[in-house]
Amino acid sequence: MVIKRDRRTPTVRGRQLGIELKRLRSEAGLSAERAAEALGCSQGKVSRIELAQTGISKGDLYLMLDLYGLPDLATKERYWKLAREARGRGWWEDYREVITSGLSAYIAFESEATELRTWSWGTINGLIQTGDYARATFCGEPAGRGRSAGEIDKLVQARMARQRRLTDGSLRLWAVLDESLLHRPIGGADVLRGQLDHLLTLPDNVVIQVLRQQTVWHAGLSGAFTLMSFQDHPAALFVESLTGDVNVDSAEDVEASTLAFDYLRAAAASVEDSQELIAAARDAL
């Protein structure tokens, strides 16, 4: 069995195909090792397919489905359609020279999500940043000191491109922000003032709540995270780390973070009060 490598970023459809193939293998009573032996490949290759880390040819997919007891041609074509969609080239591929593989994976998932629920306490979420604020965050990062002006420009362009789905209404965002972000002068007072003005003029598909600084204990103390919901796929969780957002596949972690977000938005100021907090912070600059 020959498996073709796909060097592009895994997508939601790729992960969906991998989950389906793993389920079918398990229902057929086969371990990854036994499946690999029957298919004439390594166990690692089977695992990479199931983790959406590599692509698969039509012939190889059909062989796998035959092994798992799905010889029906219509069923095979349905899975092949999913495999083809998983190979699709996303717009973010044009920015590969400046964005990390981790960020590329994050954007690939974000591009197919229907709703994001985010908790931010380091910087304001990228989907609701102004261009000036985004530029300041990239320049302020330790890595930013080694980037050229052109690279910074490309990073800002990519971030602004991500925001199109908020503008066209195809993505919903519910963001809980730590109140400290309203006073942290990233880029200076003028940049922060413009950023706060922007938070006050977001479309209706964006909900902003502010968690007051006086909140002693809250569910977000372990760090920032983003929950992504999809139309026909399980929710995905990304947690913030020093090297970027990391995808966490555990269903238990997704459930725990969903509960944590519910606690955060319950503890945060209401949408109306949050608007007043943002306006007050802007006026104080």
Segment 179-228, tens digit of pLDDT: 999 999 999 999 999 999 999 999 999 999 999 987 766 767 778 999 99
**Cα(45)–Cα(50) distance, rounded to whole angstroms?**
9
Summarize the confidence of residues 39-51 as an average pLDDT. Answer: 87
* 5-41 burial code (b ≥16 CB/10 A, e <16): ebebbbbbbbbbbbbebbebbeeeebebeebbeebeb
Least confident piece of the model among 27-41, 113-127, 232-246: 232-246
**Highest-confidence range of 31-45, 47-61, 143-157, by mean pLDDT?**
31-45
- Segment 163-182 shows an average pLDDT of 97
- The pLDDT tens digits for 1-39 are 433 334 446 677 787 788 888 889 999 999 999 998 988
Kindly tell me if the per-residue pLDDT of 239 is higher than 80.
yes
What is the rounded CA–CA span in Å between residue 279 and residue 199? 9
Task: Note the pLDDT of residue 160.
Answer: 97
SS (H, E, C) 71-120: CCHHHHHHHHHHHHHHCCCCHHHHHCCCCCHHHHHHHHHHCCCCEEEEEE
Written as one letter, the residue type at 153 is: D
Q: Which residues contact 56 (CB under 8 A, 6 or more apart)?
A: 3, 4, 49, 64, 83
Instruction: Provide the pairing of β-strand 206-211 with 115-120.
Output: unpaired
| pLDDT over 50 (residue 236) | yes
Helix orientation angle between 73-86 and 12-27, rounded to the nearest 10 degrees? 140
Please enumerate in sequence order all residues whose Cβ is within 8 A of that of 16, keeping only pairs 6 or more positions apart, or say none: 82, 86, 232, 233
The yes-or-no verdict on residue 242 having pLDDT over 70 is no
Q: Which residue has the tokens 């003028």?
A: 190
Please report the pLDDT score of residue 65 as a whole number.
92
Which pLDDT belongs to residue 132?
Answer: 97
Angle at 105 between CA 99 and CA 107, to 5 degrees: 75
Mean pLDDT to the nearest integer, 165-173: 96
Task: Output 152 or 250, whichever has higher pLDDT.
Answer: 152
Q: State the average pLDDT over residues 253-267.
A: 93
For residue 245, give the 3-state DSSP assignment: strand
The predicted model gives 32-52 an average pLDDT of 88
Query: Which segment of 37-46, 138-147, 174-183 scores lowest on mean pLDDT?
Result: 138-147
| Mean pLDDT taken over the chain | 87
Instruction: Please report, rounded to a whole number, the percentage of residues in the chain having pLDDT higher than 90.
Output: 51
Task: Give the whole-angstrom CA distance, residue 101 versus residue 140.
Answer: 20
The region of weakest confidence among 14-28, 68-82, 134-148, 245-259 is: 134-148
> What pLDDT is recorded for position 143?
58
For position 215, what pLDDT does the model report? 73
As a whole-number percent, the residues of the chain with pLDDT over 70 amount to 92
pLDDT band at residue 144, thresholds of 50, 70 and 90?
low
Rounded to two decimals, the pTM is: 0.78
Three-class SS state of 60: helix
Burial letters 238-252, b for 16+ CB under 10 A, else e = bebeeeebeebeeee
Phi, psi of 140 (to 5 degrees): -80, -20
